[in-house]
Structure 1
Amino acid sequence: MYREIYPGVYEVDILNASDEDLVKISEEMGLNLSLDEMKVIKEYFKKKGRNPRDIELQALGQAWSEHCCYKSSKYWLKKYLLGFKTDYVISTEYDAGVVEFDEEQAYVVALESHNHPSAVEPYGGAATGIGGILRDVLCMGAQPVALVDPLFFGELSTPYEKLPPGIKHPVYLLEGVVAGIRDYGNRVGIPTVAGMVFFDESYLTNCLVNVGCVGIAKKDRIIPSKAGGEGDIFILAGGATGRDGIHGVTFASAELTDTESTRSAVQLGNPIMKEPLIHACLEIVEKGLLTGMKDLGGGGLSCAVGEMALAAGYGAEVWLDKVHLKEKDMKPWEIWISESQERMLLTVKPKHVDEVLYIFRKWDVPASVIGVVKGEKVLRVYYKDWLIYEMDIEFVTKGPEYCRATAEKREKVEVDEVKEPEDFAKVFLKMMSHPNVASKEWVIRQYDHEVRGNTVLKPLQGRIGFETHGDAAVVKPTESWRGLAITADVNPWMTRIDPFWGTASAFDEMVRNLVAVNSRPHSFVDCLNFGNPEKPERMWEFVESVKALGWMSKEFGLPCVSGNVSFYNETPYGGVAPTPTLMGIGIVEDVRKAVTSNFKKEGSEIVLVGETKREFGGSLYSKVTGMKCNVVPKTDPKVLKNYAEAMLEAFKKFKVLSCHDPAEGGVAVALAEMAICGIGFEVDLSFTELFSESNTRWIVEVKNAENFVNFFEEKGLRARVIGYTGGDKLNYGRFSVELSEVEKAWRSGFSKFLR
């Protein structure tokens, strides 16, 4: 079945292979391709009149993986989400979204997953996730300015004896992931300014590590992820190519069944190489020496070369023996598909090659010429003068597309068993100490979120020593006072009950967080984490989520400018809760007018903006009390838009001292988070107003509350004074708790599980 035709290159006999043989070939070579896909490949080579070489089959395994070609998701993404753009969106077609920031600058934004690698090797998996997302922004010609890290793990209180065989404990995974993000981000000098950490039993055997990046670039220096034209030269720059990361995308495109033997699929990061690589690439961009640039992520060279050439309508020729290696005995197919980190692929005109290579040498970054763009849409790969690969570039790169079966899983009957607790204070303190709500200072303080000196609103806000968490971070990426607000949001408890309304709620929360800091919602990106798409119930969850995102995006008028789909987040023990992570970007007209979440003065009036309904599905209250409810909060994008516009107008008309949106735990928890700065309050709220997690609401500390409320009522919107700040107690009317007791529960609820 395998015949060596050149040293290290094998011909694979698929023309004479039976169906059983085709399946065996896919398994033995680690292709992770289905029988039907192998049959399509067989037919292609039958028409060519020859058998494929191992390097060709390996390239198809990478290019046709779920991770690379989105074969299960692109039908639904095109149908429901993609296509809506606003006039300020510059580009959505490459590795990251490009959006107008001001007359001269654009911001570049991307959000990706690194789930399977982090489950296998949490430190390296998370670190290389950061490295990869930095490259996605860098390849557009942008200087990275901020990082984001939404993380999802099993419950920290899980007893070790209840861990399935071979599964690592959530505490071990959390500590390793945070260390990986910390060490890579801090060493490369880019601040991690926002994110979230969420715990749920569904992530016990498959944690999720999502990472985002925002960069800034000059509009006239945006670099496309495609070649410029025939005769352009391919230059490979950065780290050496090794055996780390081989089969990374095929590993990520299957259920996670083994966390030990798959370690070779995890890449090895090197932030010390990344930092000069960033400088060198940006210098080359600034001098206008490039026609295109792409990072080497999933599939390595095998995907990047073809994608750059095809995007421009061309083919390519590559000389594989010109690639600088970590290990000299690597086989050609290993070189071709390796996902070794810190590598960038550039296309330049022949006249600029020497200057580009000189700049890389100046920054002590290895770089070499490895190929050329050709007019014919064929990709040919040579190794020591042997032609070892020759395929039509469109056949390799476009990949299959499926409209997979779906089967609804949601409960049809409305269930609401929620009732008032016997002891309000006891339940409330339990909510404040829940790891999903409690202070994440243990994580945040490990990140240098102030490096580069542009972080205006930090993850922790308020009086020094008494900080609480903010709704969004704000960075000032240029010399002007204009800024970017950044937030990351999703509540998997809600999406698990109802993926449509749970996803719509995530969008609502994203908007609320951006508005709360006095920023205008401008764009968003998504990272859609789901289970096995070949299972109809999992596919239904995905489709419902995409429907909700598309509806909210178009009706609100907020464009999705980039995204990622991560399927197969599943093990034999079950799949993860549907986790459509959203990263929102807002424009702050003047960072000096950004609003923080902590109470500022005693004697201020507290206003609740928005309408509270009895909606406890996926709520923190129902979680800690064990009371069942499947009534997930609803939202309306047009109503959300009206409230958001009114809030932003109110910030200009009134003296707003602080603002915070109720999320996990509802108004009760949100008020406590505002008070942790050291100022108590007295309010009078009903049980539902305290703990329901209804959408489209904000809590505002304001002067002239009567005029503030009238402003909203004149617009037909809800707002009312609910109480006053002051004292050292949190008095909710139904119960009262000492501020010191609440702060203790909040500060220790998460960190008590960690070293």
Structure 2
Amino acid sequence: MIEKVLKKVDVPFPLYQIDIINSDDEMLKAISDELGLSLSVDEMRRIKEYFIAKGRNPYDIELQALGQAWSEHCCYKSSKYYLKQFIFNIESEYVISAIKEDAGVVEFDEDHAYVVAFESHNHPSAIEPYGGAATGIGGILRDVVCMGAKPVALIDPLFFGKPDFPHSVLPKGTKHPLYLLSGVVAGIRDYGNRVGIPTVSGMIFFDNSYLTNCLVNVGCIGIAKKSNIVPSRAGGEDDIFILAGGLTGRDGIHGVTFASAELKETSEEESRGAVQLGNPIIKEPLIHACLEVIEKKLITGMKDLGGGGLSCAVGEMALAAGFGARVFLDRVPLKEPDMAPWEIWVSESQERMMITAKPEMVDEVLYVFEKWDVPATVVGEVKAEKTLEVYYKDFKVYDMDIEFVTSGPEYCRSYLPKKVEVKGEERINPPKDYLRVFKDMLQHPNVASREWVIRQYDHQVRASTILRPLQGRINRETHGDSAIIKPTESWRGLAITADVNPWMTKIDPFWGTASSFDEMIRNLIAVNSKPHSFVDCLNFGNPEKPERMGEFVESVKAMGWMARGINLPCVSGNVSFYNETPHSAVAPTPTLLGIGIIEDIRNAITSYFKRVGSSIVLVGETEAEFGGSVYSAVTGQKSYLVPRTSPERLKTYSDAMLESFKEFKVLACHDISGGGLAIAIAEMCFGKGLGAEIDLRGIAGDAHVKLFSESNTRWIVELPEEDAQGFIAFLMERGCRAFEIGCVSKDSISFNDSNIAFEMGVSEAEELWRNGLSRYVV
């Protein structure tokens, strides 16, 4: 349809001028659709007005650049309004840089900062799970390196349809969850292991809302000297742009516009080219070379070429410094010789960095990259005027005001908050067979051991993983609450956790998000670390639908309420919209990555029981809150009462717990989350093969509530028998509740209450738990 508005330019390469000045709304929409811009008619009208003012029509490369820069993925046009209202600008004396750069930068100690980034790679992973996940890891590593930090840890929260979903009824164009799971894990494994960065934290969650649109979230934490922090901007006029790393090809074209639209049956065929091709073998020397030029103070700025490729990186670096840029595309090293200028400009080929340096430093920068056997080429320069000029074979193919390109639209989209009907006090029935329910919970895919996944990652490479994701006996470990990394020579450490409960957010986005935030804090507290900062990866459906936008707004509102209440800054993040297909939208998934500081890693607390006879203490208050719980799923009962929390209560308990760890010899600590108290006790038993005798008769309430409720702000603590009552009194004095509920035993796990009692051998329970996921994949 758009052939009549295309005019081939008389140059010896593919270049078209597009007549949008004389195009009506129908033609503007056709131009956007056929060029893969994913821009609305209103946005195309705005571009039309800009070129009318310039007195000319755009070239194809200029429209393609605007499609990238104005995509949901790049300019956050649907989310900025609400993020600024609820999430941004939480004060903290430790934050060095938040939100504005490629990654958050937070003080670690007097000389060092940690750098943290969190992104999604959902659509590419749904199309090509191995490559999509691998390049997600590659991209998040670059986000951290470009700030001047050495990567020290990777994090990977993953979300799929149920593993037992019948093949016969898979929606057309959909890959089975087990195929996606295996491919994604292999991609993360191969890339992370080959680069040599440990994957230390993450999660896996199964729900059929992810059946046609899996979610692959990836995070990275790095460490840097404060003096080496590099901005994602140029240094000044006449700086030289140097493109370093991999060659530029047709892989990854339209990656950000592909990520800014719903998936459909034909996405695999139509959008496979939008999936980048990763190369971890070049990534490691690229990291070393980047860190060397930073250490030697040879450069003024650095930015990774992620979403939008050159089209976004160059203009953003120049404008952030208050300048413009001039780029020569024929200097860009290519994988394929016949690429059109627009393809070179918007390609998202992997393993590339854009660097700015003073002219007198260029030769030394190029020498460092040559020494590491990494291609590096001068491709442009910074100029005074805030415009971006792009040349190809001496012909100017692009000339636009950078502020127009990077400003992008911002919407205050209408939204419809979800109304959750909780009529009075919900009545969730007790099970007829407590032991059967306990067994079903242990082997539920959302509870069972993730050992099959974790052991594929080299989570100990670089020998700085102090507290590993698996803790306890060698080869028979249980889950930890947070990993701990020792990033410098001091005893100070970083605790890392990733958390969200999509079953809860699906029922109630506000309280589900607040509960996920509570769990993040609980996991950091459990290992004896003080919560220090967090980042988010917000995965939602189509924001143009008020119901989906309502889920987003309620989630960020809850997150902001909790974060401000305990003064925990959000230092970086990502919004991933359009995680939706004609089959369904994903459950609201505001994934949280929490970072804590532990002053001395030698005081870290692990999650498993240590010795027979020690006392077991429950900390916190238990209510009949079953919305989104494993108990509801296993028993088939509907509950809409998602567990409540508050920042005030969370802070009171968290502060008291950290104080108590200094006063008492705590042998083990584990937060209570999926499956409630019963599952938390079992997981603590598995790490050393010990048992537990639990007696709940001293606590008011129904047995099934005490055993299976997933109320927030609760932990299980193991202490020497002689310290238990002192520990309880210590917490009570600080406004907290705690109860001694039993002791560590030898061979079995037993639960007793007024009207019920059941028991199970540790080895039998452990076998169910260990095989709950692996039975589907091994």
Shift of 1:410: 2.8
Answer yes or no: is 1:65 the counterpart of 2:71: yes
Superposition pairs for residues 204-603 of structure 1, below 5 Å? 204-257=211-264, 258-414=267-423, 416-603=426-613
CA-to-aligned-CA distance 1:209-235 (integer Å, 9 cap, x gap): 000000000001100001111111000
Shift of 1:729: 1.0
8 Å contact 1:14–1:22 — kept in the other structure? yes
DSSP-derived class of the 2:682 partner: helix
**Matches of 1:631 and 1:426 in 2, distance apart?**
24
Answer yes or no: is 1:119 the counterpart of 2:142: no
8 Å contact 1:417–1:628 — kept in the other structure? no
For 2:146, the equivalent position in structure 1 comes to: 139
Shift of 1:417: 4.4
Task: Name stretches of at least 5 consecutive residues in structure 2 with no aligned partner.
Answer: 697-702
Bigger mean CA offset, 683-692 vs 330-339: 683-692
Answer yes or no: is 1:26 the counterpart of 2:32: yes
8 Å contact 2:431–2:704 — kept in the other structure? no
Shift of 1:418: 1.5
DSSP-derived class of the 2:660 partner: helix
**Matches of 1:249 and 1:389 in 2, distance apart?**
20
Normalising by structure 1, we get a TM-score of 0.99
For 2:700, the equivalent position in structure 1 comes to: none
**Matches of 2:614 and 2:447 in 1, distance apart?**
25
**Matches of 1:78 and 1:24 in 2, distance apart?**
34
**Matches of 2:307 and 2:427 in 1, distance apart?**
46
Shift of 1:482: 0.6
8 Å contact 1:414–1:631 — kept in the other structure? no
Task: Name stretches of at least 5 consecutive residues in structure 1 with no aligned partner.
Answer: none
Shift of 1:84: 0.9
Answer yes or no: is 1:688 the counterpart of 2:699: no
DSSP-derived class of the 1:571 partner: coil
**Matches of 2:744 and 2:487 in 1, distance apart?**
35
Shift of 1:58: 0.1
Q: Which amino acid aligns with 2:255?
A: G
For 1:170, the equivalent position in structure 2 comes to: 177
DSSP-derived class of the 2:760 partner: strand
**Matches of 1:663 and 1:716 in 2, distance apart?**
22
CA-to-aligned-CA distance 1:685-725 (integer Å, 9 cap, x gap): 33211100000011000121010000011112101101111
For 1:14, the equivalent position in structure 2 comes to: 20
Q: Which amino acid aligns with 1:699?
A: I
Normalising by structure 2, we get a TM-score of 0.96
**Matches of 1:436 and 1:24 in 2, distance apart?**
44
Q: Which amino acid aligns with 1:388?
A: V
**Matches of 1:426 and 1:260 in 2, distance apart?**
46
For 2:699, the equivalent position in structure 1 comes to: none
Identity value in percent? 69
8 Å contact 1:410–1:497 — kept in the other structure? no
Shift of 1:411: 2.5
**Matches of 2:288 and 2:43 in 1, distance apart?**
42
Q: Which amino acid aligns with 2:418?
A: K
**Matches of 1:702 and 1:646 in 2, distance apart?**
16
Q: Which of residues 89, 101, 105 in structure 1 aligns to 2:108?
A: 101
Shift of 1:143: 0.1
Shift of 1:513: 0.2
Shift of 1:466: 2.3
**Matches of 1:289 and 1:85 in 2, distance apart?**
33
Shift of 1:42: 0.3
Q: Which of residues 690, 695, 702 in structure 1 aligns to 2:719?
A: 702
Q: Which of residues 39, 54, 60 in structure 1 aligns to 2:60?
A: 54
Alignment RMSD (CA, Å): 0.8
DSSP-derived class of the 1:335 partner: helix
Q: Which of residues 624, 649, 653 in structure 1 aligns to 2:659?
A: 649
Answer yes or no: is 1:196 the counterpart of 2:203: yes
**Matches of 1:223 and 1:429 in 2, distance apart?**
52
**Matches of 2:147 and 2:21 in 1, distance apart?**
42
Shift of 1:732: 0.9
For 2:8, the equivalent position in structure 1 comes to: 4
8 Å contact 2:448–2:772 — kept in the other structure? yes
Q: Which amino acid aligns with 2:768?
A: A
Shift of 1:162: 1.4
Q: Which amino acid aligns with 2:308?
A: G
Answer yes or no: is 1:732 the counterpart of 2:751: yes
For 2:189, the equivalent position in structure 1 comes to: 182
CA-to-aligned-CA distance 1:456-493 (integer Å, 9 cap, x gap): 00010011232100000001000111100000000000
Shift of 1:350: 0.5
Q: Which amino acid aligns with 2:719?
A: V
**Matches of 1:129 and 1:465 in 2, distance apart?**
29
Shift of 1:148: 0.3
For 2:689, the equivalent position in structure 1 comes to: 678
Answer yes or no: is 1:152 the counterpart of 2:159: yes
8 Å contact 1:417–1:627 — kept in the other structure? no
8 Å contact 1:167–1:259 — kept in the other structure? no
Shift of 1:736: 1.2
For 2:633, the equivalent position in structure 1 comes to: 623
DSSP-derived class of the 1:402 partner: coil
Q: Which amino acid aligns with 1:721?
A: E
**Matches of 2:691 and 2:654 in 1, distance apart?**
27
**Matches of 2:614 and 2:49 in 1, distance apart?**
74
8 Å contact 2:421–2:640 — kept in the other structure? no
